[in-house]
């Protein structure tokens, strides 16, 4: 990080020994080491927080892209659903108009729009005709 070699450390130690004195140098070294440790832990904490925020931002961007990709699919689904509803309504209208035209002349005629009526007009497998 600072690119300090052995001889540079020796010179710094010698200057510290002369300036501070031999009796206070161990306490100074202990305090400096303590502050250095706290600084490193603080730096690693800040770095991990920044990494978490960057990952969260990336996830938000990915989710936003997926939402944008889903919008056209939702539109297609909505269009298809509305088209099916319209066709169903038109078929129901056609069946009702055919019923009105034919009336109840033909007993075998069943409406396609009402599954309950279709099942009641069809013979059941369990019922056996008598006769």
Residue 20 makes CB contacts below 8 A (sequence gap 6+) with 28
Whole-Å CA distances, 120 to 108, 115, 123? 12, 9, 8
Measure the CA–CA gap between 88 and 80, rounded to whole angstroms. 12
pLDDT at 98: 86
**HSE-up of residue 117 (Cα within 13 Å, Cβ side):** 8
- Residue 1: pLDDT over 60: no
More confident residue, 129 or 67: 67
DSSP string over 24-92: THHHHHHHHHHHHHHHHHHHHHHHHHHHHHHHHHHHHHHHHHHHHHHHHHHHHHHHHHHHHHHHHHHHH
Whole-Å CA distances, 62 to 30, 53, 58? 48, 14, 6
- Residue 50: pLDDT over 90: yes
- 61-82 pLDDT per residue, tens: 999 988 887 777 788 888 999 9
- 4-28 pLDDT per residue, tens: 788 988 898 889 888 888 888 889 8
Residue 16 makes CB contacts below 8 A (sequence gap 6+) with 25, 28
92 by Cβ neighbours in 10 Å (0-12 / 13-18 / 19+) ranks as middle
Phi and psi, residue 86, nearest 5° = -65, -45
């Amino acid at each position: 990080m600072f690119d300090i070699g052995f001889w540079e450390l020796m010179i710094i130690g010698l200057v510290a020994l002369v300036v501070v004195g031999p009796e206070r140098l161990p306490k100074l070294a202990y305090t400096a080491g303590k502050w250095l440790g706290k600084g490193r832990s603080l730096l690693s904490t800040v770095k991990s927080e920044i990494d978490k925020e960057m990952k969260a931002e990336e996830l938000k961007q990915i989710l936003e892209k997926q939402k944008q990709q889903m919008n056209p699919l939702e539109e297609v689904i909505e269009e298809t659903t509305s088209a099916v509803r319209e066709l169903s309504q038109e078929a129901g209208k056609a069946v009702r108009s055919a019923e009105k035209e034919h009336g109840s002349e033909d007993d075998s005629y069943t409406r396609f729009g009402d599954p309950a009526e279709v099942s009641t007009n069809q013979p059941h497998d369990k019922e056996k005709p008598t006769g």
